[in-house]
A and B are shown apart, each in its own frame.
Chain A
């Protein structure tokens, strides 16, 4: 495997790891809020969260590109704060991936939180547990497996991302050139042997991850898109 390919693999894992971490931190409160509320606002938020499931990645990538471009408000602010350009950077990939993989983390968590009976939380409240304590001592342990599922799906989906990345990240080695983009390069330049190496690698990785996940529990199948 060439150093360029190793770079791409490392970059992919770093992107998926960072994205998953952020998604768990953001997705947990969001999923909790969605699981305990009903009405127009939560329905709208839920629809927005689910959008990446049906929108072509290029649509999402196009708007993200406009949003993160150097002449946009966000792009300018980023430039002032960090001195670097936001578009076509690793950070832009993280932002894009977080949005793109959001439903894969929020939906399993929301489904799991909905299954936690409110009656148990009431019982915990009468025993002296405030809400955060109720969440930590009742909800987290009851939903442990769903957190694993959410993290794995978020990670795997970020590894498999292509369209959004190409739109907002381009193809800069060591910065935005992840495995899926590198594979695309090889195919464009007719280097099929190298393309096979990466493609088979991705297939085996995804298969192994999903196999390990589904082996534990039949219920998780329902939560994938």
Chain B
């Protein structure tokens, strides 16, 4: 497994200072998550060599120094692929020309073929189109293909979905996911969207005002109450599950996590596959006693491990399910009425579940 060792200091406008000292294990997708202005893009540009970090900064990819006291490797020698928020396709080349641009210049390990990349990203019908005739989602897919064909050792993605919405965002996310999985190139993915992050990332680096506040695996971080991901409405926990089977008659699929069954809308896949289930905290409610005759299919016995009550009328409860965790957002009034305290055994009802990414290698 490769590793990116960062000791980066970089000054921006208005006294902004980015200071990151971390060793990033490069396996799968590492999301760099944070609000706008937290320094995510600045960090990515320093890693790419598009922006020079202050003297004394060090960036090592495995044993190769990308930047240290003696070296400042230019971007074209770093063996990276960069997908920009605004695609940046070359207007004088058609789609095929753009794809070949990276292919003709790569100097590292043999990368994927044009046919493979086109297959992953659905680019075959676009090959002979001019770039100005493409939709925003198509442009991002071409940009991704172009970056992959440069046979990068590390893929850097800077909010590639930020300019998309609705269906095209979902389609593009699926395509990116497929391409990252299939190409097996480690990726750093900058985003401020918690849902996007939990669908794509294996690891998480959370930035706040230029500082790293948390760094670890997504599964561990996503259920932590103090994690920045849990602060907003989108707070959600992620359960690692195994696909158990399908109920064709009712159009449902059964997933198993920690010995319990969870029913979700019918999904493709063979029994035994590993999947990630994203369970939004606002969709989880709690009962003292096992609910009977409820319309809610998914009820799990859980143990309360932590309760966060702030000044807001609502509380965030962390619940253990075997080795894994769930989050529940309930009102402070309910928490008091139920007399919830850490250690209590209760039942979690899950209203709906959004099925998430398939993980090839459950790290």
Partners in one complex: yes
Using a CB–CB cutoff of 8 Å, the interface residues on chain A facing chain B are 119-120, 122-130, 133, 137-138, 141-142
Q: Which residues of B contact A138 (CB under 8 A)?
A: 90, 92
Q: Which residue of chain A has its CB nearest to the CB of B150? A: A127
Nearest to B89 among chain A residues (CB) is A123
- Cα–Cα distance between A122 and B101 once the two chains are bound (Å): 13
- A137–B98 alpha-carbon span in the complex (Å): 11
Q: Tell me, yes or no, whether B333 is within 8 Å of chain A by CB.
A: no
Q: Which 5 A-B pairs have the closest CB atoms?
A: A128-B105, A126-B82, A123-B88, A125-B75, A127-B102
How distant is the Cα of A123 from the Cα of B45 in the complex, in angstroms?
12
- Counting contact residues on chain B (CB < 8 A from A), the size range is 20 to 34
Extra contacts besides A119-B86, A128-B150 (12): CB < 8 Å = A120-B88, A123-B90, A125-B49, A126-B48, A126-B80, A127-B146, A128-B76, A128-B79, A128-B102, A129-B76, A133-B76, A141-B92
| A127 contacts B147, C-beta separation under 8 Å | yes
List chain B residues, Cβ under 8 A from A129: 76, 101, 105
The answer to whether B50 has its CB under 8 Å from any CB of chain A is yes
Structural contact, B50 and A126, CB atoms closer than 8 A: yes
- CB-CB under 8 A from B269, the residues of chain A are none
- Is B106 part of the binding interface, using a Cβ–Cβ cutoff of 8 Å? yes
B81 at the interface (CB under 8 A from A): yes
Cβ B101 vs Cβ A137 within 8 A:
yes
Whether the pair B102, A130 counts as a contact (CB closer than 8 A) is no
Chain B residues within 8 Å of A124, by CB: 90, 101
CA distance A74 to B336 in the complex (A): 96
User: Inside 8 A of A120's CB, which chain B residues have their CB?
Assistant: 88, 90
Whether A123 contacts B92 by the Cβ 8 Å rule is no
Decide if the interface of chain B is mainly helix, strand, loop or mixed.
loop
Identify the closest chain A residue to B84 (Cβ): A123
User: Which residues of the other chain, B, contact A130 by a CB distance below 8 angstroms?
Assistant: 74, 76
CB neighbours of B107 from chain A (8 A):
128
State the CA gap A118–B106 with chains docked (Å): 21
* 21 A-B contacts (beta carbon < 8 Å): A119-B84, A120-B90, A122-B50, A123-B84, A123-B88, A124-B90, A125-B50, A125-B74, A125-B75, A125-B76, A126-B48, A126-B75, A126-B81, A126-B82, A126-B147, A127-B150, A128-B150, A129-B105, A133-B76, A137-B101, A142-B92
Instruction: List CB contacts (< 8 Å) of B91-105 with chain A.
Output: 91-92, 101-102, 105
**A177 to B82 alpha-carbon distance, docked (Å):** 59
Instruction: Give A122 to B80 CA distance when docked, in angstroms.
Output: 12
> When chains A and B are docked, how far (Å) is the Cα of A29 from the Cα of B124?
39
B102 — nearest CB in chain A belongs to which residue? A127
In the complex, what's the smallest C-beta–C-beta distance from B247 to chain A, in angstroms? Answer: 48
Query: Interface centre among A120, A126, A141, by most B CB within 10 Å?
Result: A126
Contacts of B106 in A (CB 8 A): 128
- Find chain A residues with CB under 8 A from B84 CB: 119, 122-123
Chain B residues, CB < 8 A from A141: 92
Residues of B within 8 A of A119 (CB): 84, 86, 88
Q: Which A residues are in CB contact (< 8 Å) with B86? A: 119
Closest-by-CB residue of B relative to A130 is B76
Residues B270-313 near A (CB distance < 8 A): none
- Looking at A120, A123, A127, A129, the one whose CB has the most chain B CB atoms below 10 A away is A127
